[in-house]
Amino acid sequence: MQIIDFILNVAAWILWVNGWMQCRNPVKMDRPLTLLSTLKASPPKISVAWFYFGGFLVILLIKTLFLHYLGAPLQTTMSIDFLLFFVYFKTGSFFSMASMAVASFLKIALIAYIWVWFLWHLSRKGIADNLVNSLGDSMGLLKGRHVLIQVSVFLLGGVLGWLGLGLYFSWMGALPSNQETSLLLWQGLWLSLSAWVGLYWLIVAMLSAYLIHSYIYLGPWEGWDWLEGMVERLLSPLKPLPLQWARIDFAPLVALGLNWLIFTALIRLIQYGYQSRPF
């Protein structure tokens, strides 16, 4: 159930991003040609963005129906893992499942934007320019801003997003009704920081794909050159170390181990920081 929810969230996020990209760089699309249209004046053109936004809403509706009608016979509640705690929703309530569908999408959307930001900044110029430009365009208004501003917007968005969700969850009964604003802001801070820990899985995927491509030819796709350039930048701090033996480079394996150590340390640090709240 969780896997299907994740896949639908990713699909909805892709449609959402494409819709906003079309709003910034609109492409007009003619209405379908019909016999009636030949007798009347040509109707106005429709922005492609509305098709993406419409698909986004359809996926959220499908996900809500799926969670409600297929989840209810299997279990009475479903939860969203926010790393620091779980929030539970009643599968028997369509309203509760709709709330879960939106909340889980917002969680994935924040992590996905952080992944895109990371890939965009790690990409080398002159390699797979179309792909890199698409990553930059998906950043929307943040494109061209200073890195500190971009990071601050992600952190602030996470804090304010959880503040809104926390107040809503308190109203609907998913959280205690006496939630204080200061507590929600504190939770939002650490939840926003924990979203960055999701980069662990992206780095694992990048290093794994790099290792496979290093020993198996997977075709002339320019994306492999793009991946190789990014991984080389990731591995650059390890270059001074003697990690090569014959034709085997152990740097990616060492990087995987270091990535796991950093991930584990950050998880414990965030959990400790959250639990040591001053109020």
State both tokens at 148: 């500190």
Q: Which tens digits make up the pLDDT trace of 209-252?
A: 998 888 887 777 788 888 888 999 999 998 888 888 877 788 89
Which residues, listed in sequence order, are joined to residue 87 by a DSSP beta bridge?
Answer: 80
If one counts the domains in the chain, the total is: 1
Q: Please choose, from the candidates 259, 151, 234, 144, the residue with its C-alpha nearest in 3D space to the C-alpha of residue 195.
A: 151
The span from the first CA to the last CA of the chain, in angstroms, equals: 37
Number of H helices, E strands in the chain: 9, 6
- On average, the pLDDT of the chain sits at 84
Q: Which residues contact 64 (CB under 8 A, 6 or more apart)?
A: 94, 97, 98, 101
State both tokens at 198: 């999701």
Question: Domain range spanning residue 52?
Answer: 2-275
* Calpha distance 270→84 (Å, rounded): 8
- Per the CB < 8 A criterion, the answer to whether 251 and 257 are in contact is no
Instruction: Please report where in the chains the tokens 């205690």 appear, as a residue.
Output: 176
35 pLDDT more than 50: no
Find the mean pLDDT for residues 185-212: 94
State both tokens at 56: 């986004």
- Per the CB < 8 A criterion, the answer to whether 110 and 158 are in contact is yes
Query: What pLDDT was estimated at residue 279?
Result: 66
